[in-house]
Amino acid sequence: MKLKVKSHSPQPRLSLHAHYRGQPLHLAHWRKLAKAALAPCLAQLKFPEAPLATLEEIEISLISDPAIADVHAQFLDDPTPTDVITFHHGEILISLDTAARQAQEHSHPYEREVALYLIHGLLHLAGWNDIDPEERRQMHQHQNRILDNLWSE
């Protein structure tokens, strides 16, 4: 017997929060990008009951390296900063410090790096994981295609 999982709404509500004292943030820009990324990520659900299919709201927080390192230590037993942490209850944490550093290292725009982290977090909510090498490869293909499509619009 297969269970049908109903979505609470066609798309979850997005709430965006800036907990960052670095460079100025234009939340309207990031909110627009998050809304644009949501539908293509929903189209990549790995399984019907993935969190992204059932969540009513997704909370995205833009934070610093020290803040994400604290969360990384508390929940993943790793005290180092990371790019993005996703919780299946619908919370995505993005380090803007890491995004700035990685964008410079890869010679591409800072905004593109933040968009990559946002898409990566949404794909985790869509059921994708990057622990297994083959699944990581597939997840990265999805995120790069979505990013390229959004970035060209």
Q: Binding site membership: which residues?
A: 120, 124, 130
Do 7 and 56 meet the contact criterion of CB atoms below 8 Å apart?
no
Q: Which residues pair with 14 in a beta bridge?
A: 58
**How far is the C-alpha of 103 from the C-alpha of 114, rounded, in Å?**
9
**How far is the C-alpha of 95 from the C-alpha of 109, rounded, in Å?**
15
Tokens encoding 28: 């309207």
Annotated binding site for Zn(2+): 120, 124, 130
